[in-house]
Amino acid sequence: VLGSVHPLIPPHRPHNSMYVISDQGELITRYDERLLSNTKLSFMYTPGSDPVTFEVDGLRFGCAMGIEAHFPEVWAEYERLDVDGVLFSTGSGQTPDGTAAFATETQGHAATNGLWVSFAMSAQHSAAAPAGIIAPDGRWAARCLTDGHPALAIAGIDNRSESIDIAVTKARPWRRQARAGIYAAHLVTDNRSDDRGAF
């Protein structure tokens, strides 16, 4: 997966995109950043409209980029689409604190949705937030160095691993049930419940 600007027919501005290329060198699909910053929306790009998924060796992936780290609905949508992982790429958070926030938010999305997440970040921002791979339990499975030099983070993705068993086989299915309304049948009509002004 590589990032690029995807030109549209003038006068439309291009998409900010990620191309998914097969091991045969063929274009499989393209993800276009959907939730743009004000600057990107005003002067640079046309937003995309759809999530994108693809499979590699039996694992299903989605893509996200830019400031989409700030939008939980992007990550929840990929969980509903039953992906195993999301490939996330961003240039920076504009400040060291912003860059670190992107990493923290992405870690939270991985844990909240039980997803593997690749966090691709420019090497120049590695002191604040080095690139890496986050496991479905929210821990970093692999991380690049913080020295500003280009590097690769590599981790084996195994959804049967004991270390992530709870995140993948228990927490993720339970959250799906919780989001689907299982609590409705357990609600009661009770004055003690309704009166929020009493101990």
Summarised one tens digit per residue, pLDDT across range 17-76 is 999 999 999 999 999 999 999 999 999 999 999 999 999 999 999 999 999 999 999 999
Residue 93: what pLDDT? 58
CA distance 76 to 67: 15
Residue 98: what pLDDT? 65
Q: What is the token pair recorded at 42?
A: 């005003």
- Would the pTM count as exceeding 0.85? yes
- Which domains does the chain possess? 2-194 (3.60.110.10)
